[in-house]
Structure 1
Amino acid sequence: MNVYDFKAKTSRGEEKSLADYKGKVLIIVNTASKCGFTPQFKELQDLYMKYKDRGLEILGFPCDQFAHQEPGSNQEVQEFCRLNYGVTFRIFGKGDVRGDNAQPLFKYLTEEQKFKGFEPDSPSTEMLTNALKSHFPEYLEGDSIKWNFTKFLVNREGQPVGRFEPTASPVSMETEIEKLLAE
């Protein structure tokens, strides 16, 4: 099994096979428009522009499960990403990424790439950890998605090979991206 075995709903509600991305290096990320990590859209777009011609694709999956930080419609999400961050990579339709109703893709990703903790050197680690302990302690349990902007790196064979928590800057993934693109 790999990510190519999954389908996802586009922002227009159509099914799209992830097999359409065969041979590409992927970053799959759950996103939100009203989150402290939302500025990561800029770094993700910068990575996309830098590496898309070498085979990088970024797939954004808006999610409203974390403190209602993605309240807009699919169209509003698309417009927000384009207007505020110049996003040109694919943003899919809104959906759950944790729990019983999680999209199958995210159940697979979290089974393949376990939670190893937040980045100890990130200035946002303490803030996020404290917020989760205070308001959403159940989110800290297990390997599920902890918050918006959890990023999964997938190789050209469709295998998840890395997990980067919200506290990891997208730019911190660049060395791994370059390795995968060179393979």
Structure 2
Amino acid sequence: MSIYNYLVQKPNGDILSMETYRGKALLIVNTASQCRFTYQYEDLQKMYNKYKEQGFIVLAFPTNQFGEQNPEDGQTTAKACQINFGVQFPVFDLIDVNGKQTHPLFNYVKHEVDVREINKNNMQEAMLMSHIQEVYPDYLIGRNIRWNFTKFLVDKAGKVVARFEPTDALLDLEKAVESIL
């Protein structure tokens, strides 16, 4: 299997093959509209603007699995992203990223790269992980997505090369993007 074997659904219900993105560097992100990390939409848009001419694209996949922080449907979410954050990259329909209903694309990407250890010296990350341990302990097992705005970097050949947690520094993410362009 490869990243290009998967189908994704646009908010309007249209089905799109990931083959559409062959030859592009991808940042696949599970997102939410009402999360304390939602501001990252703006940062992702800036990164997309900076690198899109070099074959880079961000793909956002909203999910309501973490604290019901994306309760609206995909169309409402996509429209809000455009209005509130100027998002021009694709925002897809709502999906699950963990559990029995995990979208096949996310099942694939999260098993292609290792999950890094929790950085207990990072106060924001330590607090988030404490909350997850209390409310969603299964999300800390194996390669599950831990929270909204987990990011997977895919090179132009379709290989998943890195995973970034929502608390990871934007500068580290940007360096990784530059390394594959």
- Following TM superposition, by how much is the alpha carbon of 1:137 offset from its aligned partner in structure 2, in angstroms? 1.4
- How many corresponding residue pairs? 181
Q: In structure 2, how many angstroms separate the alpha carbons of the residues matched to 1:18 and 1:149?
A: 20
| Residue 156 of structure 1, CA deviation | 0.4
1:68-107 matched pairs, under 5 angstroms: 68-107=68-107
Which runs of 5 or more residues in structure 2 are unaligned?
Answer: none
Displacement after TM superposition at 1:135 (Å): 1.4
TM-score (norm 1): 0.94
CA distance in 2, matches of 1:25, 1:126: 31
Q: Provide the C-alpha distance between the structure 2 equivalents of 1:53 and 1:38, rounded to a whole number of angstroms.
A: 25
Q: Secondary structure at the match of 1:11?
A: coil
Unaligned stretches of 5+ in structure 1?
Answer: none
- The aligned counterpart of 1:126 is 126
1:42-74 per-residue CA deviation (whole Å, 9 max, x = no partner) reads 110010000001110100000001110000121
Would the aligned equivalents of 2:33 and 2:70 in 1 still touch at CA under 8 Å? yes
Code of the residue aligned with 1:175 in structure 2: it is K
| Residue identity in the other structure for 2:55 | G
Which residue pairs with 2:154 in the alignment?
Answer: 154
CA RMSD of aligned residues (A): 1.3
1:72-127 alpha-carbon deviations (Å, 9 max, x no partner)? 12121012111111000000100101111000000001111121124556442011
Contact in 1 for aligned 2:119/2:126 (Cα 8 Å)? no
Q: Is the contact made by 2:22 and 2:157 (CA closer than 8 Å) also made in structure 1?
A: yes
Aligned to 2:12: 12
Show the counterpart of 2:177. 177
Report SS of the residue matched to 2:100: coil
Q: CA contact under 8 A between 2:29 and 2:149: conserved in structure 1?
A: yes
